[in-house]
Amino acid sequence: MKKKIYVVILCLLGFAGCDKTNEPVVSTVRNEIKVKVYNTATWNRATNKMDSVVGAAVSLISDSLISYSKTDNTGVATFSGVTAKNYTIYASNGDLSNLYGPGIANYTTMGYLIIGVYTSQADINSSAYNFNAVVGGPKIEDVNHDGQINSNDQVPGIQLKYDYKYKDINGDGVIDVKDLVNGNILRMDNVVQQSAFIGK
């Protein structure tokens, strides 16, 4: 009986050892852009916060592809398997979008990019001049940094440059040949968090 138990234990140890040595090493790199959408109309002066939007449509646009996603129950739209490129992000929900006063120019939706709300008169005074600025109203990005909001500030959406990140294996602060592993530079997770503010 003792001999049988000993054989069983050896077999179990053998299987456990085999499982450990033959277990594949999986290294999955997450290349993602996560866009959280907020509704500027829900801004609360007391808390200086606004609600996220569930079910908003978000487009991730590059020179060769348009990807679509909808925000989940936390207000986040996720784009996975993103490659290193320049992207434009356009978010909408019904008649709300992240572009103020959108219109079509050369078959592209263009407008003034909403970057939040004007939280006070002091905020308005310190921001680029905007004739339509009111406390609690959509805050517009001064795209060309000339100190005023005008037609030169119209864009198709949020402009985002997405690059890969790599592991600094030897910790010297530089990615170079000293960081090669089997002839490769190892990629890190690169998850970019981006906010989009919609209004009208």
Q: The CATH number of the domain where 58 resides is what?
A: 2.60.40.10
Mean pLDDT of 96-113: 87
Quick one: tokens of 3?
């001999």
Let me know if residue 13 belongs to a domain: no
pLDDT above 70 as % of the chain: 86
pLDDT given at position 27: 57
Using the structure block, give the residue that is written with the tokens 């959108």: 102
Domain that holds residue 92: 29-198
Neighbours of 99 (CB within 10 A): 26
Let me know if residue 20 belongs to a domain: no
Let me know if residue 19 belongs to a domain: no
Domain count, the chain: 1
pLDDT exceeds 80 at position 18:
no
Summarised one tens digit per residue, pLDDT across range 39-64 is 999 999 999 999 999 999 999 999 98
pLDDT given at position 102: 80
Let me know if residue 115 belongs to a domain: yes
pTM of the model: 0.80
- Distance CA(155)–CA(135), nearest Å, equals 23
